[in-house]
Amino acid sequence: PSPVVLAGLHAAAELGFETARDISSGLETGFGLTDGNIRNDVRQSASDAYLTPVLDRPNLHIVTDALVRRIVIDHKVATGVEYV
C-alpha cells in the first residue's frame, strides 16, 4: 500500500475507528486495505486476470446471459455445466 493509504488508516485508527486486517471478515463499519489484482501497475478485472489467459482452451465454451441449472461433477472434478 502507498504511504498515503497507510497514513489514512493510521489516522482513522487514532480517531477511534476500527480497522480490519481482512475486509471480508464481517466488520461492517471501519477501515481496511482492499484486495487488488494489479499487474504491471494496472488494475485487472476478474475477466482480465482469469478468463483472458485461457480463452484459447479447446474445452472452454463461453455462454453469456445463461442461467446455470447444475454443475456436473465427476470424481470431484467439474466436467460440465447445464444451463438454460
pTM of the model: 0.46
What is the Cβ-side half-sphere exposure of residue 83, based on CA atoms within 13 angstroms? Answer: 10
The 8-class DSSP code of residue 57 comes to -
Grid cell 444451463 in the structure block, residue: 83
Residue spans per domain, the chain: 3-83
Going by pLDDT thresholds of 50, 70 and 90, the confidence category of residue 83 is very high
**Which is more confidently placed, 35 or 79?**
79
